[in-house]
A and B are shown apart, each in its own frame.
Chain A
Amino acid sequence: MFAYIVRRLLYAIPILIGVNLLTFTLFFVVNSPDDMAVSQLGEKYVTPEAIEAWKRKNGYDKPLFVNAEAQGVGAFTDTIFFTKSLKLFAFDFGRSESGRDITTDVSTRMWPSLAVALPSFVIGIWVNICVALMVVMFRATALDRWAVFVFVALMSISYLFYIIGGQYLVAKSWMLVPISGYDPEFQPWKFLILPVLVSVIAGIGSGARWYRTLFLEEAGQDYVRTARAKGASEISILFKHILPNALIPILTGVVVLIPTLFMGSLLIESFFGIPGLGSYMLDAIRSQDFAIVRTMVFIGSILYIIGLILTDISYTWADPRVRLS
């Protein structure tokens, strides 16, 4: 397994370089360093000298990929791509265009993200599995058909509707919890109830429907009939037989998400005022802060790759027949 993991980590390097190159190209196709300077400097008194000074100060006065004026390796190292993007591989995230240290910001903001994402994730999976198993228990009945109808209806509703609806009902009309905000030192749980609730409810439709499909396939297997014939209760059959056997596809979709929980959620964080990495990314896109965007894409890529490796490893735990080689 060790060799497998090392191999997968090595595969990750070209993937990360590709992601980096793609992000860099896409960003600079639509956004020249001059555009970035204008965005940062504002609309008044933006002289060409001010633009040049901003570019020089922030290291955007170099060529993008190849520096024809530099000698030897410098032709590639003395470029924006090298100085801004490839340094990420040394985890040197540098500074945002507004001058803040990105490493400090990321390490500060990942905890609020996690505070929302982790309970949403755990409770969401637990609820989805329970609901799906309950529906499977009543498969081919009116309850099952109605449940599928409700799932599809829940899936069809925009995520924004859940957020705004939740805020309107729970926080505005019923005044049960604060509508937004986050304070780790002041009863943080009361700020988390609503975003977690909204995340869980918004995910029930797609999650429970997907798990139902997986469980239904297992429910028709011979070993289930055997268990039932041996007198096992439905609860026991569902949780001890069907669920473990359906774990492989569940893990495929779930484990890969675990590392990315640090990245937070763009919408939830923005609407609920959670100062996490999701809103950090959104703000960076809005303010055309390439330094933050490239860092977040890079971190996201790494976490996703880690998630994929963890998924493979989790297969061996879920199904001892699986061997990584």
Chain B
Amino acid sequence: MRAHYQGSVAVPTGYRDNSGFTTRLGFAALALLAVVLAGCGEPPWNDPNPSFDDGLLTYNSVMSPSPPKHLDPATSYASDESLFLMQIYEPPMGYHFLKRPYELLALSVEDFPQVTYLNAEGEEVAEDDPAVAYTRYTLTVREDEHYQPHPAFAVDQQGQPLYLFDDAEEGSRYSQITDFPQTGDRPVRANDYVYAIKRLADPLIGSPMLGFMAQHIVGMTEFSEELARVERPGNWLDLNDFDMEGLEVLDERTFTITINGRYPQFVYWLAMHFFSPIAPEVDRFYHNPGFSDRNLTLDWWPVGSGPYMMVKNDPNSEIILERNPNYREDYYPIEGEPGDREKGLLDDAGKRVPFIDRAVFRLEKEVLPLWTKFLQGYYDRSGEVHGNTNGVFDQAFVVGPDGVEMSPELQDHNITMSPDVKPGIYYYGFNMRDPVVGGYTEDRRKLRQALQIAFNTEEYINIFYKGNGIAAQNPIPPGIPGHLEGEEGINPYVYDWVDGEAVRKPLEYARKLLAEAGYPNGRDARTGEPLKIFIDVQSQAISNTSMNWMDRVFAELGVQVEYRPADWNRTREKLLTGNTQIYSHGWLADYPDPENFLFLLYGPESPLICECDGANNSNYDNPEYDELFRQVRVLPPGPERAELVARMVELFRRDAVWLYAYYPKDIYLNNSWVSNTKRHGISKATLKYLNIDPEERARRQVEWNQPVTWPLYAGAALVIGLLLPGVIAYRRRQNATARRAVE
């Protein structure tokens, strides 16, 4: 049989040439390899960044894991999107780059808004007058505030817009903003801010701010209802033709916003992109027929007066920003918080910003490529919006005696760390209406306090977040007034102050509390049944190992745990109907004021009371707390307000409303040639302060990316090594006589 397969006929000499096929193939492969190597040119070969030969200082960064969905300042409400919007737009207010606690400052307006208080008749009254019915903010736009060059501002010799088309065909040759040969620009005017606020109220735009802002800005609801009734035969509706009661343009640079009652936190909202100026002609430009079919919309091509402008928007691969040539004179801060000077954060003090001419944000969906490119020096920083606390980046850190430290490998690269304690909080809350863990009696408080003590937050953070988090002692995170450090900042129901640090109370004490609550050794004293608690978890946000860990810590008290995993939508439904016992949630601040955290426990914010998507998912209902909150909401910062906040925090601690909580802490890494990398927890408008040493970057990239070529030769040798025996065997067989073959 074997002889049959191998053939039994001697092959004529002329056929031998065929056997050279494989050999030729091997040589061809080698030749190809040589050509490829020669074509690669000077190393590094693995540079993924196209080289710009225009001499502009380029910052290479990343958008991860997905591109922005909206870039219209009226509709966007995500940090990934703020990363771009806050470089392009300049809202009236902003934040000091370096100072902590966060400090508000005027950005595109000349100064802080001038605040006047009005009674119901519209007459000016004193701030503390009980008759205050409205608050009016008067803002004056900076004289040097100027829009970026854009085709929407291009006009012909008669001063008419150059790019207004009657039909889709007329403008069909333009598919990118860069396709328009002519651009124009103009100063920012007061009406542009008013126009932007009117856009928030347009129901067709669908701003997430409409519902919330309509509660505050006078006449916004009516304005929105009026727009909803308007027939829109054409594409564009000029909002200048409609008036909103709470908005008024006093002159070209001055406008007012009137809000209902007193709401001192409103000034923080003016630092968000929702209130950035929008030029009506830009809105009109993007409503050209057929433009939206080519994604030429304000949602994809923002137009602002900030330090940068968008020159490329390919959400599939990259977004490129370039310096706005019309950006006003702006300078790096000359003072910061203690320690900033020592860290070199004031080396550029007083210099004009922005430093970087171009910022390229490339889409990276997976962590390994992102991490590798950062280590190879092709990304200047390891991330922009999301920190590096995932599995791959964990290799970069070790937990040392002083907290998280970098691995020796990273230290060799002179990589620096930028920790970022976000003004936010993640927590597991009790449902205060639950028949087992809810309620306000002493035994229920003790039950919840016992569970709080058992849940060792510090251990949990160390194990599952590699130490990247801070156990919360109160609902107000660091950097926000109302957050206290040291002994006066600890939660005395869960911690003791021992030798200068907060120490969790012993488990014995938790067992005692549990017994006093009616559950000695974790069993119901009346029925003898073991206490079982139910935790609703979001399936994507929890692992089996962390559930096992929780099982273990509660087992120390004899308490059993059952988990109810669900996706976010199902979890949300449960929260809206109060159908939870313990749930997980989180909150990132919109602005650095304690009110933005304390409202998470405000009674009327309970979804069961407001019948809305309220923030008080614990359904905490404490009349004293609610009354204090109402006072805090309208009081200006000061000792009186601080005292009320402290009392509210005390109530929160006493009632043990949350099982555990921590302040998220992210770590961002910077290559050594990047400076001024301090993270700002609230504002994303920090790109203009970033600086780069391009010479060091180029040197390091070459140094770190010398290709290892031996695998290529080894691979070629392997292929030949595999083919050669086959070729030899084949030739032998082709030359074999029948007798030899049979043998």
Task: Report which A residues bind B (CB closer than 8 A).
Answer: 31, 35, 38-50, 53-54, 56-57, 98-101, 103-105, 108-109, 112, 134, 137-140, 143, 164, 167-183, 185-186, 190-191, 228-229, 231-236, 270-273, 275, 279-280, 283, 286-287
Q: B47 touches which one: A35, A40, A44, A178 (CB < 8 A)?
A: A178
Interchain CA distance A182-B210 in the complex, whole Å: 39
Q: A143-B726, A174-B707, A175-B46 are in contact. Are A47 and B9 (CB under 8 A)?
A: no
Q: B365 touches which one: A56, A100, A170, A279 (CB < 8 A)?
A: A279
Q: A180 touches which one: B1, B21, B369 (CB < 8 A)?
A: B369
Decide: A104 and B204 in contact? CB cutoff 8 A.
no
Decide: B363 and A273 in contact? CB cutoff 8 A.
yes
- For residue B212, which residue of chain A has the nearest CB? A45
1/0 per residue, CB under 8 A from A, across B54-71: the answer is: 000000000000100110
Q: How far is the CB of B147 from chain A (nearest CB, A)?
A: 23
Decide: A109 and B316 in contact? CB cutoff 8 A.
yes
Q: B206 touches which one: A57, A172, A229, A279 (CB < 8 A)?
A: A57
* Chain B residues, CB < 8 A from A134: 726
* Chain A residues, CB < 8 A from B15: 231-233, 236
Apart from A57-B206, A167-B369, what are 12 other A-B pairs with CB-CB below 8 Å? A139-B5, A164-B368, A174-B708, A174-B711, A175-B44, A175-B706, A176-B709, A177-B45, A178-B48, A180-B366, A183-B50, A270-B366
Most buried by B among A45, A101, A228: A45
Chain A contact residues, majority secondary structure: helix
B440 at the interface (CB under 8 A from A): no
Count contacts between A and B, CB distance < 8 Å. 188
Q: List 25 A-B contacts (CB under 8 A).
A: A44-B208, A45-B208, A46-B208, A47-B613, A50-B211, A57-B203, A57-B204, A98-B299, A140-B1, A143-B726, A167-B368, A171-B46, A172-B372, A175-B44, A178-B46, A179-B46, A179-B369, A186-B50, A232-B15, A233-B15, A233-B18, A234-B734, A271-B365, A273-B366, A273-B369
* Chain A residues, CB < 8 A from B705: 175
Interchain CA distance A38-B576 in the complex, whole Å: 13
Interchain CA distance A45-B572 in the complex, whole Å: 13
* Chain B residues, CB < 8 A from A47: 211-212, 612-613
* Chain A residues, CB < 8 A from B695: none
B140 at the interface (CB under 8 A from A): no
Interchain CA distance A41-B315 in the complex, whole Å: 19
Q: How far is the CB of A88 from chain B (nearest CB, A)?
A: 17
Q: A39-B569, A231-B12, A233-B734 are in contact. Are A169 and B711 (CB under 8 A)?
A: yes
Decide: A99 and B297 in contact? CB cutoff 8 A.
yes
* Chain B residues, CB < 8 A from A101: 292-295
- For residue B317, which residue of chain A has the nearest CB? A275
B730 at the interface (CB under 8 A from A): yes
* Chain B residues, CB < 8 A from A233: 11, 15, 18-19, 734
B334 at the interface (CB under 8 A from A): no
Q: How far is the CB of A285 from chain B (nearest CB, A)?
A: 12
1/0 per residue, CB under 8 A from A, across B683-723: the answer is: 00000000000000000000001111101100000000000
Interchain CA distance A8-B237 in the complex, whole Å: 49
Task: Report which B residues bind A (CB closer than 8 A).
Answer: 1-2, 5, 7, 9, 11-12, 15, 18-19, 21, 40, 43-48, 50, 66, 69-70, 77-78, 203-204, 206, 208-212, 292-295, 297, 299-300, 314-317, 362-366, 368-369, 372-373, 376, 568-569, 572, 590, 612-613, 705-709, 711-712, 726, 729-730, 733-734
Interchain CA distance A108-B11 in the complex, whole Å: 55
- For residue B7, which residue of chain A has the nearest CB? A228
Q: How far is the CB of A1 from chain B (nearest CB, A)?
A: 37
Decide: B45 and A176 in contact? CB cutoff 8 A.
yes
Most buried by B among A43, A54, A231: A43
* Chain B residues, CB < 8 A from A103: 293
Interchain CA distance A275-B314 in the complex, whole Å: 9
* Chain A residues, CB < 8 A from B9: 228-229, 231
Q: How far is the CB of A33 from chain B (nearest CB, A)?
A: 11
- For residue B315, which residue of chain A has the nearest CB? A100
Decide: B2 and A273 in contact? CB cutoff 8 A.
no
Q: How far is the CB of B538 from chain A (nearest CB, A)?
A: 11
* Chain B residues, CB < 8 A from A38: 568-569, 572
Q: How far is the CB of A311 from chain B (nearest CB, A)?
A: 30
* Chain A residues, CB < 8 A from B711: 169-170, 174, 176
- For residue A48, which residue of chain B has the nearest CB? B612
Decide: A104 and B294 in contact? CB cutoff 8 A.
yes
Interchain CA distance A44-B50 in the complex, whole Å: 39
Decide: B210 and A50 in contact? CB cutoff 8 A.
yes
Q: A176 touches which one: B12, B46, B317, B368 (CB < 8 A)?
A: B46
Decide: A173 and B708 in contact? CB cutoff 8 A.
yes
* Chain B residues, CB < 8 A from A171: 46, 369, 372
Decide: B569 and A42 in contact? CB cutoff 8 A.
no
Interchain CA distance A207-B512 in the complex, whole Å: 67
Q: B295 touches which one: A35, A100, A185, A191 (CB < 8 A)?
A: A100
- For residue B611, which residue of chain A has the nearest CB? A48
Q: A183-B317, A234-B733 are in contact. Are A175 and B45 (CB under 8 A)?
A: yes
Interchain CA distance A263-B568 in the complex, whole Å: 30
- For residue A236, which residue of chain B has the nearest CB? B18
Most buried by A among B12, B44, B206: B206
Interchain CA distance A173-B707 in the complex, whole Å: 9
* Chain B residues, CB < 8 A from A234: 7, 730, 733-734
Interchain CA distance A101-B168 in the complex, whole Å: 15
Decide: A190 and B45 in contact? CB cutoff 8 A.
yes
* Chain A residues, CB < 8 A from B709: 174, 176
* Chain A residues, CB < 8 A from B21: 235
Decide: A45 and B211 in contact? CB cutoff 8 A.
yes
Q: How far is the CB of A248 from chain B (nearest CB, A)?
A: 24
